[in-house]
Amino acid sequence: RLIFLFSTSRWLICLAVNIEPWNNCRVTHNAELHQLQVCLYSAAHVAARHMGAVLYLDTSNSFSPSRIAHILDELPISLIKEPKDMRLKRVMSSIICESVFDIFALFEVLDRLEVSLNCKVTNGSNKICLLIIDSVSSLLAPIIGGKNSQGRSMMISVAMILKKLAHKHNLSVLVTNHMVAGNGAPKPALGESWKAAPHIRLMISRDRGSNICTATTLKHTLLACGRHMKFQFLPS
């Protein structure tokens, strides 16, 4: 089980997500910055805690070592006791970042990932244990509008591939989906057909007029739906 526990000495960052290794987790956001921060924190914490390697698919050209370094600087002192430069080098060596800007590039990366996992290829001594797609909706939303049946078929294919990777290779998968305007309330951009894809669904919303966010459980294999917690992101 991977435990993502975000806590710092300066800010309350306590988004705790329990993801079984075979689970596919989706986080739904109403703010792109929060979407990015969830992904960066997840990557940094898994790498910092020696859990394994992380494959980070950057869909917005937003990943950077400086952002990871900023997150590492806020980790509890008891978690990592090593010089900052060595710590950053070690963590970055466990994070494989690839830029993915369209659905075809996503299929290509997932295909290569499956081949490497089948061949038991490791990143140094670390096996990839976490796959992050920092905005799966930015890749899928452009192809599923209107009556585009081919686009929806491709979306279903992505979901099936991610589930296959998670189950077959004991891999955790974290993807994010943004919110769009709905009839009276915002709704996930990828619609109803995507809801069945993840094992766990969380929604992160920001309290109006403040920097306080709320994480709400929409779907979970172990926890009751409706559970929520307040937290605050560090300035990026």
Distances (CA, A) of 79 to 73, 108, 114, 127, 233: 11, 36, 32, 21, 19
Mean pLDDT, range 125-145, rounded to an integer: 85
Question: For residue 57, what pLDDT is reported?
Answer: 97
Lowest mean pLDDT among 1-5, 73-77, 188-192: 1-5
pTM: 0.82
Residue 15 scores a pLDDT above 50: no
Angle at CA of residue 220, ends 105 and 178, nearest 5°: 40
169-193: pLDDT as tens digits: 888 888 888 777 767 777 777 777 7
Residues 63, 65, 71, 72: what is their CA dihedral angle, to the nearest 10 degrees? Answer: 150
Mean pLDDT, range 23-32, rounded to an integer: 55
Confidence band of 24 (pLDDT split at 50, 70, 90): low
Distance CA 195, CA 161 (A): 15
Question: For residue 146, what pLDDT is reported?
Answer: 66
DSSP 8-state assignment for residue 9: S
Summary mean pLDDT of the chain: 77
- Domains with residue ranges and CATH for the chain: 22-66+78-200 (3.40.50.300)
